[in-house]
Chains A and B, each alone.
Chain A
Amino acid sequence: MTEFNELSRQFQISDLKEQRADLHFFHASKEHAVAVLTSLKEKYGYTHLVFFTVVDHLEKNEFHLTYMLHNYEKHHDMGVVVKIARENVQMESIHHLWPAAATYQQEIREMYGVEFPGSPGLYENFALEGWEDIPPMRRDFDTKEYSDKTYYPRPGRESHDPREYMKENLYPGEAETW
Chain B
Amino acid sequence: MQLRAENISRRYFRKHGEANFFEAVRSVSLTLESGKLTVLNGKSGSGKTTLLNMIGGLLNPSEGKVFLDETDLYALEDKDLSRLRSKRIGVIPQGRSAVDTLSVYENILLPGMLYGGTLRTEEAENWMTVLGISDLRNAMPAELSGGELRRMAIARTLTASPEVILADEPTGDLDNENTRTVLTAFQQAAKAGKAVLVVSHETDAEAYADQILHMSHGTIE
Question: Do A and B make up one complex?
Answer: no
B residues apposed to A, CB below 8 Å: none
